[in-house]
């Protein structure tokens, strides 16, 4: 079987072209979208992700603010920073880089972000709007990226059976809601599976579209795959590799070498979903600016 690799870069560039077009309109009207990213501690992976977001803001011409707090920052200090950003009219999107240090309450922090600036789509109001097909909310960026990859590659979603392995709010649950919605990119029949699902491989092997988001390197093998399925690998895992320059390499949740020959299409890791997450964050931030300015105009 000739397998198509669904690479994220080309699709992300299409998203960025759309972003630049919208930015031109907003700037002509005197508006500049602003994104604030809050980083607590010095986790290398989190720092790398924040750096990528900051660089993309600069490339596109968005207003960008990075707030760095020490590893031992208190809940009160972090929330005070969020409240300051909530009140700043130059900031349209707020993203608190997760995971936070263990002494901080992530749910309480997310609750403090204004839903209108929650471009990561994790506030309960935005999750509720997603469940209600309310287009005024924000969906999480990684699920949006997965959906866009399927749409752009002409992988029909309507009527298809989708199995998502992983039930996190950040990916699994939110992606399930997106693919269930009516309209383009939706109308799927969705099963959300997880580590406690009985006969998991059998459940997965019935999917027309399989999404792996379980956080276990190489977990999905060929016995999970129906011939001709489309596979979206959300996992980004570091595994030790003495032959690699950095002493490790990045792999997905899917055993690519074993699974790819059975697929009609599959996303690689790296080079697949990861780049789409940042693209959709930029798109959400620009949309937040547009919605904020439209709201001001109505008022």
Catalytic residues: 53, 97, 120
Sign of the CA dihedral running 47, 97, 102, 74:
positive
Q: Which residues pair with 37 in a beta bridge?
A: 66, 95
- Residue environment code for 55-66, b if the CB has 16+ CB neighbours within 10 A, otherwise e: ebbeebebebbe
Give the residue among 111, 35, 121, 51 at the shortest CA–CA distance from 78.
Answer: 111
Q: Say whether the peptide bond before residue 227 is cis (omega within 30 degrees of 0).
A: no
C-alpha torsion angle, residues 169, 65, 108, 83 (rounded to 10): -140
Q: What is the Cβ-side half-sphere exposure of residue 237, based on CA atoms within 13 angstroms?
A: 18
- In whole angstroms, give the CA distance from residue 254 to residue 224: 10
What does the radius of gyration of the chain's CA atoms come to, in whole angstroms? 19
Q: Which residues pair with 5 in a beta bridge?
A: 266
């Amino acid at each position: 079987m000739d397998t198509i690799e669904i690479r994220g870069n080309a699709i992300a560039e299409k998203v960025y072209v759309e972003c630049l077009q919208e930015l031109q309109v907003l700037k002509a009207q005197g508006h500049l979208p602003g994104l604030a990213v809050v980083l607590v501690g010095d986790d290398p992976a989190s720092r790398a992700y924040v750096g990528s977001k900051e660089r993309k803001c600069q490339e596109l011409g968005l207003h960008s603010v990075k707030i760095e707090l020490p590893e031992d920052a208190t809940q009160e200090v972090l929330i005070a920073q969020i409240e300051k950003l909530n009140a700043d009219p130059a900031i349209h999107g707020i993203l608190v880089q997760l995971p936070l240090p263990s002494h901080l309450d992530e749910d309480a922090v997310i609750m403090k972000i204004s839903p209108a600036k929650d471009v990561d789509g994790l506030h309960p109001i935005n999750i509720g709007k997603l469940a209600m097909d309310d287009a005024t909310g924000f969906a999480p960026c990684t699920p949006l990226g997965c959906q866009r990859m399927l749409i752009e590659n002409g992988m029909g979603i309507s009527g298809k059976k989708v199995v998502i392995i992983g039930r996190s709010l950040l990916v699994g649950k939110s992606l399930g809601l997106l693919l269930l919605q009516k309209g383009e990119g939706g109308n799927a029949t969705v099963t959300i599976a997880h580590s406690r699902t009985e006969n998991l491989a059998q459940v997965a092997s019935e999917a027309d579209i399989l999404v792996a988001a379980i956080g276990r390197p190489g977990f999905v093998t060929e016995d999970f795959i129906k011939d001709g399925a489309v596979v979206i690998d959300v996992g980004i895992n570091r595994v030790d590799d003495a032959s690699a320059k950095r002493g490790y390499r990045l792999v997905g949740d899917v055993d690519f070498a074993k699974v790819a020959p059975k697929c009609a299409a599959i996303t690689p890791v790296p080079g697949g979903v990861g780049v789409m997450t940042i693209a959709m964050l930029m798109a959400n931030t620009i949309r937040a600016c547009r919605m904020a300015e439209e709201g001001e105009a109505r008022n």
